[in-house]
């Protein structure tokens, strides 16, 4: 009888490992496919955002506040270029944007996969527990339980088979999570660059042509952004830790003094969206929000040129 | 009164831990109610001043975790039960034990006096700089409360490690100990290793705020992320300091009320509790997924965090398996214990998406996270505490807790917590951020917030019922028989209720086939 359990364990173990292997292979292939793009983007980042030279290696290396002046200089040529409008820039990259995966859509898909996963695991556990609860009630006052005795083989079987199943599921989720992560953390080439600044209790966004827009004012007059184009916001804070969240774009990242962090996103269809602060920053924490509106690129170009 | 204050008896110290931590629970619970009432409608509801709200949040979080959950699970249960379960007359260092309860009470008083100073701390229980350094709130009260509680916990940890290692009844092998003893041992090892890290972090915070240093100030060469890493280096393992003993309590109650051994005991101990101790130290960055850490570390910690599901899953299998072919009696203690299975399932499973960096980029700092950890800590761990108090109530007081009032309290409690926290998952996924005084940008969430507030009122009601039941039954309950549950564990079989001085009329010794779970045909060798 113990041999039967050992055999079942071996079979399930092999199946689990096969799942892991397939999932990891797929993730590795995706990572390899994304790798050249990532390298390019890092190179671009190194050229464009000169002070962030270390940042290209470590995504957001520390940019000491003392170097902020350098950062301004480094960004200056870019701003000049933007005067002869960013319009071609946006249109030029509208084509590659078609091949760029929208991380928000990826998030929604993965979220549904994860939910199915949770419902299956939760359902199995809950149904078994309920079955036991109903079946094994006390019939006589002096009745004791009748759990079959354990031995080494049984014990290890009951440890290793579940462990393999859980591990297979973990690696499946990790592989898919990593795949989405690659989309989320590699800014597509030629994304619209915005510099974000947070302080108690206001957001400021500086566009490539020098236009600076306030988060608080955007509640009345939303900040316009081009639809279909990747947009990257590289932000830092002047005082405490804040966090810039776009719930609809399924993205956030803390914004702090001494470092520059980024988020990137794109919208597939015109629409209205919120952004808000999600790291506790004091008495005005819940009052640090604004609106953006995604519009066709030409409308955005006209609008931003007017704000410059 | 004097014989309680100056006592070195572990049972009295344990009960003092229970009373102190329940006091903290009541005050922090009132804060929770105020928070929920404030959120019940758009705009200012109870107060116009968001600082008041932030102080409630601070106190609710800090007191619930540091002054209720950790002291009740590692203070009360460990103190009361470990010497009784291993057959020892007292702990190894009774006077150090007395000192640690004094520290605990001083810490509670210090924490409560936050309401009497003009500038109460408003730094949340995490105390992230630079805000905690720049705020006009009194961060030092937070720091000193953490110091005192940490010191108290370290003394407790040393004490109980020595007690379990050296004072087991003659003949008791390591695998003959109650699972709860193992679980608490694992929790104390975590406390001993990681509390100093938290103490260092908050001390540096103190220096930054009051003595002009710049450990966390980037303008002078410091780094804001340093604190967050140090803080979570302790505070994530602290989750397991709460979780493992909570599972231990639930396992004892389920084994007792189903009269079954714990399923796959050795795997639960070594592959469950101790594996969590080892793996749990390598996952802290999952609290920093959106904090601007380097990408490779976030991916690495995603894998380690997901792998934690293996030992946690093994513990769950052991709990569910304990019911298999059992003889289950549903009294109040068992209802609380068995509901933990479902509530922890919800809390644990919603932790899986939060382990995935890419999913958490959206979910971090939203109500989803809030609902998740309330299911794990506020609900599962707290239900474990209630379950344990009901189960060992006859042992502590010599009287039975009233079952009718107990079950009424349980039903209200169960309905209340689910009404409060379940809807918060959905608005969390839609983007409702935590720690918001107002939610003018999300007016569509108002009905959900109202529903959660109604749940909170039901919880408050159920708590009145539960605490009334304990006080009433301790004074006027029916006298308890010697072993009301028919348990085989040493605290029930070898001594009276409540145990007298020295715990056991005759010092117990155990044979090689004795086990606290030798129900039916089981002996230590078959478990």
To test the contact with chain B by mutation, choose from A60, A147, A272 the residue with the greatest count of B C-beta atoms within 10 A, namely: A147
Quote the domain boundaries for residue A300: 53-100+190-308
Residue ending a domain, among A133, A153, A187, is A187
- What is the structure's pLDDT at A39? 42
Together in a domain, A123 and A249: no
Give the separation between CA B467 and CA B22, rounded to whole angstroms.
9
pLDDT for res B524: 83
At residue A12, the pLDDT reads 57
A299 in the same domain as A223: yes
Checking if the pLDDT of A22 tops 70, the result is no
pLDDT in tens, chain B (527 residues): 788 888 999 999 999 999 999 999 999 999 999 999 999 999 898 999 999 999 999 999 999 999 999 999 999 999 999 999 999 999 999 999 999 999 999 999 998 888 889 899 999 999 999 999 999 999 999 999 999 999 999 999 999 999 999 999 999 999 999 999 999 999 999 999 999 999 999 999 999 999 999 999 999 999 999 999 999 999 999 999 999 999 999 999 999 999 999 999 999 999 999 999 999 999 999 999 999 999 999 999 999 999 999 999 999 999 999 999 999 999 999 999 999 999 999 999 999 999 999 999 999 999 999 999 999 988 999 999 999 999 999 999 999 999 999 999 999 999 999 999 999 999 999 999 999 999 999 999 999 999 999 999 999 999 999 999 999 999 999 999 999 999 999 999 999 989 998 899 999 999 999 999 999 888 888 87
Please give, rounded to a whole number of angstroms, the shortest distance from the CA of B218 to a CA of chain A. Answer: 5
What average pLDDT does range A264-287 have in this prediction?
Answer: 94
Calpha distance B316→B344 (Å, rounded):
9
* pLDDT tens by residue, B476-508: 999 999 999 999 999 999 999 899 988 999 999
Structural domain tally of chain A? 2
Residues A161 and A179 in one domain: yes
Same domain membership, residue A169 and residue A72: no
B264 and A155 within 8 Å at the Cβ level: the answer is yes
Say if the Cβ atoms of B358 and A259 lie within 8 Å: no
Do A5 and A75 belong together in one domain?
Answer: no
d(CA B108, CA B149): 9
Q: Nearest residue on chain B to A285, judged by CA atoms?
A: B436
Interface check for A276 against chain B (CB to CB < 8 A): the answer is: yes
Neighbours of A35 (CB within 10 A): 12
Q: What is the mean pLDDT of residues A103-127?
A: 94
Q: Do B357 and A181 touch (CB under 8 A)?
A: yes
Mean pLDDT of the A288-296 span: 96
- The SS3 call for residue B43 is coil
pLDDT tens-digit map of B136-155: 999 999 999 999 999 999 99
Q: Are residues A66 and A88 in the same domain?
A: yes
B185 touches chain A (CB under 8 A): no
Phi and psi dihedrals of A245, rounded to 5?
Answer: -125, 130
Domain residues for B230?
2-526
State how many domains chain B has: 1
Q: Are A218 and A84 found together in one domain?
A: yes
Interface ipTM > 0.90: yes
Res. A47 pLDDT band, cuts 50 70 90: very low
Asked if the bond preceding A201 is cis, omega within 30° of 0, the reply is yes
Tell me which residue has tokens 């500086």.
Answer: A206
Domain CATH code at residue A255: 2.60.40.420
- What CATH number is attached to the domain comprising B408? 1.20.210.10
pLDDT at residue A9, rounded to an integer: 54
Short-list B300, B190, B192, B174, CA closest to B237 = B190
Give the span between the Cα atoms of B516 and B176, in whole angstroms: 7
One domain, residues A87 and A125: no
B:7-66 residues touching chain A, CB 8 A cutoff: 49-51, 54
Residues of chain B with Cβ-Cβ distance to A132 below 8 Å are 320, 323-324, 326
Q: How crowded is residue B32: how many other Cβ atoms within 10 Å of its Cβ? A: 23
Q: Which residues of B touch A277 (CB under 8 A)?
A: 433
Residues A214 and A80 in one domain: yes
Interface test with A, best of B49, B266, B433 (most A CBs within 10 A): B433
Mean pLDDT, residues A23-52 taken together: 46
Do both A247 and A217 map to the same domain?
A: yes
- Percent of chain A scored above 90 by pLDDT? 64
Q: Is A287 on the interface with B (CB under 8 A)?
A: yes
Which of A187, A208, A225 marks a domain boundary?
A187
């Amino acid at each position: 009888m113990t041999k039967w359990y050992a055999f079942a364990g071996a079979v399930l173990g092999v199946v689990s490992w096969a799942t892991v292997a397939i999932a990891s292979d797929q993730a590795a292939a995706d990572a390899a496919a994304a790798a050249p793009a990532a390298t390019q983007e890092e190179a671009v980042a190194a050229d464009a955002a000169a002070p962030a030279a270390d940042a290209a290696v470590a995504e957001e290396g520390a940019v000491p506040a003392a170097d902020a002046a350098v950062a301004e200089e480094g960004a200056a040529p870019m701003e000049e270029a933007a005067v002869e409008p960013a319009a071609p820039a946006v249109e030029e990259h509208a084509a590659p944007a078609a091949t760029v995966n929208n991380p928000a859509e990826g998030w929604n898909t993965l979220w549904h996969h994860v939910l199915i996963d949770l419902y299956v695991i939760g359902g199995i556990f809950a149904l078994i527990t309920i079955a036991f609860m109903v079946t094994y009630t006390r019939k006589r006052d002096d009745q004791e339980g009748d759990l079959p005795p354990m031995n080494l083989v049984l014990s290890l079987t009951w440890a290793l088979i579940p462990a393999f199943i859980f591990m297979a599921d973990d690696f499946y989720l990790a592989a898919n999570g990593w795949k989405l992560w690659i989309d989320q953390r590699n800014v597509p080439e030629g994304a619209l660059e915005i510099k974000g600044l947070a302080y108690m209790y206001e957001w400021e966004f500086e566009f490539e042509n020098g236009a600076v827009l306030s988060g608080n004012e955007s509640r009345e007059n939303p900040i316009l952004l081009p639809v279909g184009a990747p947009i990257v916001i590289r932000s830092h804070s002047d005082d405490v830790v804040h966090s810039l969240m776009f719930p609809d774009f399924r993205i956030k990242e803390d914004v702090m003094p001494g470092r520059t962090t980024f988020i990137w996103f794109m919208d597939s269809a015109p629409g209205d969206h919120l952004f808000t602060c999600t790291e506790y920053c004091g008495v005005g924490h819940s009052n640090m929000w604004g609106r953006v509106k995604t519009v066709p690129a030409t409308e955005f170009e006209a609008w931003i040129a007017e704000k410059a | 009164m004097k014989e309680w204050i100056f006592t070195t008896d572990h049972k009295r110290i344990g009960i003092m831990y229970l009373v102190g931590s329940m006091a903290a629970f009541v005050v922090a619970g009132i804060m929770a109610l105020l928070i929920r009432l404030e959120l019940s409608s758009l705009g200012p509801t109870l107060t116009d001043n968001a600082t008041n709200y932030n102080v409630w949040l601070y106190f609710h979080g800090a007191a619930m975790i540091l002054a209720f959950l950790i002291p009740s699970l590692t203070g009360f249960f460990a103190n009361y039960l470990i010497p009784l379960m291993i057959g020892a007359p007292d702990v190894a260092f009774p006077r150090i034990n007395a000192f640690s309860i004094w520290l605990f009470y001083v810490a509670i008083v210090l924490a409560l006096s936050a309401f009497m100073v003009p500038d109460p701390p408003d730094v949340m229980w995490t105390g992230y700089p630079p805000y905690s350094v720049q705020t006009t709130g009194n961060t030092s009260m937070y720091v000193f409360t953490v110091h005192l509680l940490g010191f108290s916990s370290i003394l407790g940890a040393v004490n109980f490690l020595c007690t379990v290692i050296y004072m087991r009844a003659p003949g008791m092998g390591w695998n003959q100990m109650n699972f709860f003893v193992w679980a608490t041992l694992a929790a104390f090892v975590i406390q001993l290793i990681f509390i100093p890290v938290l103490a260092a972090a908050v001390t540096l915070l103190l220096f930054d705020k009051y003595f002009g240093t710049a450990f966390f100030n980037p303008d002078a060469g410091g780094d804001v992320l340093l604190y967050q890493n140090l803080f979570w280096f302790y505070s994530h393992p602290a989750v397991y300091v709460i979780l493992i003993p909570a599972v231990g309590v639930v396992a004892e109650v389920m084994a007792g009320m189903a009269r079954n051994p714990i399923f796959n005991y050795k795997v639960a101990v070594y592959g469950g509790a101790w594996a969590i101790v080892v793996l749990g130290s390598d996952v802290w960055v999952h609290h920093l997924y959106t904090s601007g850490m380097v990408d490779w570390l976030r991916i690495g910690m995603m894998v380690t965090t997901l792998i934690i599901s293996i030992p946690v899953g093994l513990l769950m299998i052991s709990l569910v398996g304990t019911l298999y072919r059992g003889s289950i009696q549903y009294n109040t203690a068992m209802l609380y214990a068995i509901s933990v299975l479902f509530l922890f399932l919800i809390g644990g499973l919603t932790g899986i998406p939060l382990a995935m960096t890419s999913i958490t980029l959206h979910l971090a700092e939203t109500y989803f996270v809030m609902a998740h950890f309330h299911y794990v800590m506020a609900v599962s761990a707290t239900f474990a505490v209630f379950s344990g108090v009901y189960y060992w109530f006859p042992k502590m007081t010599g009287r039975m807790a009233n079952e009718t009032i107990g079950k009424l309290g349980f039903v209200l409690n169960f309905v209340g917590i689910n009404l409060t926290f379940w809807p918060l998952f959905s608005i969390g996924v839609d983007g409702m951020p935590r720690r918001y005084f107002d939610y003018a940008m999300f007016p569509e969430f108002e009905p959900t917030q109202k529903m959660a507030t109604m749940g909170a009122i039901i919880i408050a009601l159920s708590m009145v019922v539960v605490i009334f039941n304990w006080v009433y039954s301790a004074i006027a309950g029916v006298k308890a028989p010697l072993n009301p549950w028919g348990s085989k564990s040493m605290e029930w079989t070898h001594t009276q209720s409540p145990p007298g001085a020295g715990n056991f009329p005759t010092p117990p010794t155990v044979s090689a086939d004795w086990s606290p779970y030798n129900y039916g045909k089981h002996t230590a060798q078959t478990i």
